[in-house]
Structure 1
Amino acid sequence: MMQCVFLQSSFISSPVFLVVGHRNNSSMEKYRNIPEVTSNSKLQEMQLYQEALYCLELLALQLEGNTDYPAVEHLYEKCHEAISILGSIQHNPHIAASLENLLETINFQMSLIYCRPPGFQRTQSDGLIKYPSFTKTVEDSSPRRRPSKRCSESGVSPSVQDMLLPPSSVTDTLEDVIGLEDAKQILYEALIMPARYPQLFQGGAKPWTRLLLYGPPGTGKTRLARAVASELQCPFFYVSAANLLSSWVGESEKLTRDLFQHARKQHSQAIIFFDEIDSLCRKRSQGDDEHSRRVKSELLQQMDGNAEDATSSVFLLGATNCPWDMDPAFLRRFERRIYASLPGREACRAIISKHFSMGPLQLTDSEWQVLLDATEGYSGADLTHLATTAAFLPIRELQSARFWRFTADNKITPCSSDTLGAMQYTLSKLPAHRVVARPVEAQDFLVAASTTPRTVSTTDINRYLEYSQASHHS
């Protein structure tokens, strides 16, 4: 009698069927005597195929009855090892790809087996770890439906846990964010003041709970959201399209529900931050597939549910570079839309100076004016790249320097050949711990500006300004 083992992987377009011979249960005792698979070049491919098929046959028999999990794990390891070696020595690319897909399928099946129900405990008997059997229920046998890969003791999806950033990763406060004074003021009034002065927000003075940050890329929208979470010392869920969208039917909607439910269960305030939210909330059209429509509908429902729950302390923040691409239904649910503009001249000077806090820039006022004129229209991220490039130029000169002098603190720095006390050496001949670069000069920034142009065009800026004006009048 033959037995068919069905394997389905998310990495392959068609199922993989392995037909193995059905043996009696006495063969289960032989799994411990399976020889170790090695990468010896003399090992024939046929032996490896037989090894993998034999392990799969024993696995099928083992999973039919009272499962011995250590035995299953041992068999999976043997099968995985044999297929890995086959893939490494396989010259046919099509067969190698099939073996790689089979490995992914085996790993997925292993994750399903070890996803045990809450309260599951193992017991020890006769020197072997035995696991009590349990009945697994399958909600849907459709090959496109993907069960959860792991189980959490708290009942929270691991994918949702991955969105929750640890407190140590959010350290900046609003004062640390340079510029964006209007945006910081609105965020302070909407999120921080209600938490610190709840008595002020009673009756009709209700705080905003859904805010949208929009503006050119690199202006600090994400940093603003992190700064608010740092001020409140509350859980911060960082969500992107990659976290929520899945090719499996129903998985994206479930993740969205789990995210909002877990945020509402927090003992304190919580912030859900959607970065590049336009990738999730684009305008709906006839060309949208069914999966995209369901995800948008679920997200709209969760946003409405959060707004109607008077006891909820979940704040929803979104950030986008393309607010005009968002669906009007989502825009309506954001109570305030905040424009994160490019930094002004004073903010640009502060951003550049911040990167040289260890050694203040020795620039005159006239040099600052020339530099600020050259960097007009730069975003915060552009200025960071500019400062990094300018700071590297003095370091690059060290490699070609041939004359050196001692500084007041007994360090060694490059100089010209006519400098009093100049020494002629190459960089490799000097003690590395005493070599320092010259200070950054205005010319370094001008050279850096020629190689790191701004990323936001004048046309883009005008479009943001037009959108802001239209948004305020609507």
Structure 2
Amino acid sequence: MSRFFVRYKCYKNGCSTADQTWQQLQLHDYYVWVIFGGYLYVKSTWPITKRNALSYANVATKEDEQKNYQVAAENYLSAAEWLLRARKLVTNAEKKVRLLEAAERYIDRAEKIKNMLDNNENKKEGITKDDSDGNKKKPIAEDDSDGNKKSEQDDEVDPDRKKMMQRFAGSIITDPKVTFTDVVGLDQAKEALKEAVILPIKFPKLFTGNRRPWAGILLYGPPGTGKSYLAKAIATECKSTFISVSSADLLSKWLGESEKAVRFLFELARERKPAIVFIDEIDALCSSRSENESEASRRIKTEFLIQMQGIGNNNEGVLILAATNIPWVLDSAIRRRFEKRIYIPLPDASARLSMFKMRIGRNTPHTIKENEWKILSEKSENYSGADIAVVVREALLSPIRRLQQSTHFKRVKNPNAGGPDLWATCSPADPLAEELTLDKIEGDKLCEPPVTMNDMMAALSTQKATVGAKDLKQHEKFTDEYGQEGS
């Protein structure tokens, strides 16, 4: 028995009875005790208190989600009561603060529910209230500050739904102005996405019966290969609602809010179908389940599974598109929901050549020859599209640095007819050279120096590839087991 209880000898410190010993310890409400063999055995009720608080909190959250507000409010208050009891049992100051904050949140939610129920009751009474002649009379809608009538229906909107609508308002993308022609390479990925998104919308008669479009597509591959860029291209090409979210939009520190956000996201997509839901970095939400994970994380994954392919959920007309850099950490059940898993690999030599040209731009002066573009593509093996963008940006800054260091400039003819002569950097030995610094030249009279091959090679030497051989092997292994090539 002493293994579970703290033992106190009866009649300790002059106490004549076990009851007096108990009173001296001042443990009336928070400990259980038993007398055995002349000793008083005392045990903390902290585990029971904690378990009761969690039990009431879980019931309250579930009833709140199902809109059984009266039951939810009662359980929120019970959970708060048990948390306040638990607070008296702990000695750690930080734990005391956390328990108090949790109790205050539950009390606050219970009060909000009570106010909402009271308001609804008042509205019902107002609608059925009799006038002096005994006729049923509806309350007159109030005017707002602009003189417009307030709708009764606006007042009856679920506050949680209104909050969620505001939360996802910025996630609905209309026109990102990125097309499939802007995406270099990835021909198989483009075809698969056209087959899943564009064709069913344009030719719905072709996709009936057993011929159904894909309901879930997972884009995976090393970082910087264009997964999110492809999603933007889909938003431009298709005429359906495009909702783009990340894990940060769905996760919340409040109990039950994260799974509520997941459920509302799918409800919003079903209401506005045909719709595409793009979830970036889905691995942050749906990694493999384990015994050590938190209850909140487990509930999010469960809700996600139910909404994607659960009983009673009709997702016809809704495509779930997700992207991840580490597909092997996804839960197996989540992976199965994505029927199409497309590998977005690093660009090949031909794609890298096109990326270098595209990043330089048509209006940027340069002296790079056609055969030198090929050299750049060969030297940049294992570089992603994002890596190439960084290399080109670094090279574009090199002429600016030369301008800052130049001490001599010369006048050159303006390429625009009728324009003033421009100042171009030159060697001090140039016969037309004038000793001058950049800060003494007017902005509209400076000749932009061209980007050279040396600038590009110098940038390549300083900006290394961000994807290692080990990462590539993991992606290739996952593709062999579960995916398909997208290039």
The alignment's TM-score, normalised by the length of structure 1, stands at 0.66
Q: CA deviation at 1:420?
A: 3.9
For the residues of structure 2 that align with 1:239 and 1:307, how far apart are their CA atoms? 24
Structure 2: runs of 5 or more not aligned: 1-96, 124-138, 415-420
The code of the aligned residue for 2:354 comes to A
The code of the aligned residue for 1:451 comes to T
| 1:381 partnered with 2:386 | yes
Call closer, same or farther: CA 1:287–1:221 in 2, change over 3 Å: same
Q: CA deviation at 1:450?
A: 1.8
Map Cα deviations across residues 42-87 of structure 1 (whole Å, 9 max, x no partner). Answer: xxxxxxxxxxxxxxxxxxxxxxxxxxxxxxxxxxxxxxxxxxxxxx
| 1:160 partnered with 2:168 | yes
Following superposition of structure 1 onto structure 2, how do residues 300-449 of structure 1 map, counting pairs within 5 Å? 300-305=305-310, 309=314, 312-355=316-359, 356-359=361-364, 361-409=366-414, 410-449=421-460
Q: CA deviation at 1:269?
A: 1.9
Q: CA deviation at 1:374?
A: 2.0
Tell me if structure 1 keeps the 8 A contact 2:250–2:261: yes
Tell me if structure 2 keeps the 8 A contact 1:209–1:307: no
Secondary structure at the counterpart of residue 169 of structure 2: helix
Map Cα deviations across residues 285-339 of structure 1 (whole Å, 9 max, x no partner). Answer: 11111111111100000000499626x3111001000010001000001010000
Tell me if structure 2 keeps the 8 A contact 1:405–1:413: yes
Counterpart position of 1:263:
269
Tell me if structure 2 keeps the 8 A contact 1:382–1:455: yes
Secondary structure at the counterpart of residue 438 of structure 1: coil
Map Cα deviations across residues 181-238 of structure 1 (whole Å, 9 max, x no partner). Answer: 1111111111111111222223332111210000000001011111101111332222
Following superposition of structure 1 onto structure 2, how do residues 22-171 of structure 1 map, counting pairs within 5 Å? 156-162=164-170, 164-168=171-175, 170-171=176-177
For the residues of structure 1 that align with 2:167 and 2:319, how far apart are their CA atoms? 20
The alignment's TM-score, normalised by the length of structure 2, stands at 0.64
Call closer, same or farther: CA 1:260–1:395 in 2, change over 3 Å: same
Counterpart position of 1:471:
482
For the residues of structure 1 that align with 2:258 and 2:193, how far apart are their CA atoms? 29
The code of the aligned residue for 2:383 comes to Y
Secondary structure at the counterpart of residue 157 of structure 1: helix
The code of the aligned residue for 2:174 comes to P
Aligned with 1:254 (options 248, 260, 263): 260
Following superposition of structure 1 onto structure 2, how do residues 283-294 of structure 1 map, counting pairs within 5 Å? 283-294=288-299
Aligned with 2:186 (options 167, 170, 180): 180
Tell me if structure 1 keeps the 8 A contact 2:219–2:341: yes
Q: CA deviation at 1:166?
A: 3.8
| 1:244 partnered with 2:253 | no
| 1:453 partnered with 2:460 | no
Secondary structure at the counterpart of residue 417 of structure 1: coil
Map Cα deviations across residues 385-434 of structure 1 (whole Å, 9 max, x no partner). Answer: 11100000101111111111233323222111233422221111111222
Secondary structure at the counterpart of residue 338 of structure 1: strand
Following superposition of structure 1 onto structure 2, how do residues 156-235 of structure 1 map, counting pairs within 5 Å? 156-162=164-170, 164-168=171-175, 170-235=176-241
The code of the aligned residue for 1:253 comes to E
Secondary structure at the counterpart of residue 219 of structure 2: strand
Counterpart position of 1:64:
none
How many positions carry a matched residue from both structures?
Answer: 345
For the residues of structure 1 that align with 2:429 and 2:407, how far apart are their CA atoms? 12
For the residues of structure 2 that align with 1:161 and 1:365, how far apart are their CA atoms? 47
- What is the RMSD of the two structures over their aligned residues, measured on CA atoms? 3.4
Tell me if structure 2 keeps the 8 A contact 1:239–1:274: yes
Identity of aligned residues (%): 36
Tell me if structure 1 keeps the 8 A contact 2:282–2:324: yes
Tell me if structure 2 keeps the 8 A contact 1:253–1:298: yes
The code of the aligned residue for 1:423 comes to E
Secondary structure at the counterpart of residue 213 of structure 2: coil
Counterpart position of 1:299:
304
For the residues of structure 2 that align with 1:327 and 1:172, how far apart are their CA atoms? 32
For the residues of structure 2 that align with 1:124 and 1:320, how far apart are their CA atoms? 47
Q: CA deviation at 1:371?
A: 1.5
For the residues of structure 2 that align with 1:351 and 1:264, how far apart are their CA atoms? 38
For the residues of structure 2 that align with 1:345 and 1:173, how far apart are their CA atoms? 22
For the residues of structure 1 that align with 2:296 and 2:424, how far apart are their CA atoms? 63
Call closer, same or farther: CA 1:328–1:430 in 2, change over 3 Å: same
